[in-house]
Amino acid sequence: MSFTVLNPALPLGSHIVVLHMVCCLFKVLIKDRSSAKKVLIVYAHQSSGSFNAAAKTAAVEVLKSQGCTVEVSDLYAMNFKATATAEDIKGDIKEAENFSYLKETRLAWEEGRLSDDITKEQTKLTEADLVIFQFPMYWFSVPGILKGWFDRVLTSGFAFSLEKLYSQGVFKDKKAMLSFTTGSLESMFSPTGVNGDMNVTLWPLQNGILHYCGFQVLAPQIFWAPSCASPEARQCMLEGWRTRLQGLLEEKPLSFVPLDCFDKKGFQLKPDVHEKHAGKEFGLTVGVHLGRKLPLHNQMKAGC
């Protein structure tokens, strides 16, 4: 489309109409830009030649092509500090002899005295609509450098409080997801496999960190043992990820139990909720299982 804004062959009124149309189009473009989704990728692999790097690059490319703004926190390249220490706080420590990281960082956050590297990550998080954590699974969990990111960036007050937890959490309007590679085959992470059910292994990460802060948690993207796969199979995994990324922002999240189903004192399931589920075969989630069978795929697929 092209506009001839000033054509001497047209009367002045026509010029005004055309200018108005141009202004309207600019407004639409500006609005589109401001409502474009912002994505933060927290990436934890040492090598740019790795499968994790390729998965990260695929996410950047596909999401950008959809008009998203994508920011990457490349933790190893940033030499991100993974230990929660008093150095994370500027100025005085209130109780140096009985140092509590939780309490001191909460106070520092309230007073704008957190270290610059933490504040920078918190700003990125505040701006993001979707956060993707891309990492190789180390020891049934995230690598130490990413655990350090969770420990240090998700400060009390900033990311959660006693009043703002889970479905009523600080980040309840944001989405987050884990995207990771395993060393083990898929069969090993089943309810009859030697490593046990992957749904169990994911609970502390997806419920205990992401959903605890309110995030709507999208199903994890699991790349099963790419180091044991052929180059073609690895390529196929990446293609699957690219396809998924195209619809990622419209995906429904995993199911958790809403916070108002628990009482405010001991955070126990309210009797009426319990009664409503009496006699059912399956529990509500992997963790809130009520002594029943775990709901199938609860931490792996939306709506389970």
Which of the residues 26 through 85 are near its own copies (CB under 8 A)? Answer: 46-47, 49-50, 76, 80, 82-85
User: Is residue 276 involved in binding its own copies (CB under 8 A)?
Assistant: no
- CB nearer to its own copies: pick between 4 and 47: 47
**Side chain identity, residue 112:** G
- First CA to last CA distance, the chain: 47
Site string for its own copies, 252-271 (x = CB under 8 A): -----x-x--x---xxxx--
DSSP letter for 292, please: S
As a whole number of angstroms, the distance between CA 150 and CA 125 comes to 12
Binders of its own copies among residues 152 to 181 (CB under 8 A) are 152, 154, 165-166
Instruction: Give exposure, 220-255, as e/b (b: 16+ Cβ within 10 Å).
Output: bbbbbbbeebeeeebeebbeebeebbeebeeeebbb
- CA 121 – CA 231 distance, rounded (Å): 35
Stretch that binds its own copies, among 20-28, 109-117, 235-243, 291-299 (CB under 8 A): 291-299
Could you tell me the CA-to-CA distances from 159 to 85, 88, 94, 292 in Å, in that order? 18, 16, 21, 32
Cα dist from 160 to 130, 173, 278, 302, whole Å: 18, 14, 32, 24
Please identify, among the stretches 5-13, 98-106, 122-130, 244-252, the one whose residues bind its own copies according to the rule CB under 8 A: 98-106
Distance of closest approach, residue 150 Cβ to its own copies, in angstroms: 5
Applying CB under 8 A, the site for its own copies has a residue count of 76
55 vs 63, beta carbon nearer its own copies: 55
Closest approach of Cβ 136 to its own copies, in Å? 8
Nearer to its own copies, 157 or 183 (CB): 183
* Helix 51-65 with 231-247: angle, nearest 10 deg: 30
Q: How far is the CB of 45 from its own copies (least distance, A)?
A: 9
Encoded tokens for 198: 């992957």
CB of 138 to its own copies, least distance (A): 5
Residues 190-249 that bind its own copies (CB under 8 A): 190-197, 200-201, 203-205, 207-209, 212, 227
Q: What are phi and psi of 40, to 5 degrees?
A: -110, 125
Site for its own copies in 114-153 (CB under 8 A): 138-145, 147-148, 150-152
Among 31, 274, 276, 280, binds its own copies (CB under 8 A): 274
The residue type found at 14 is S
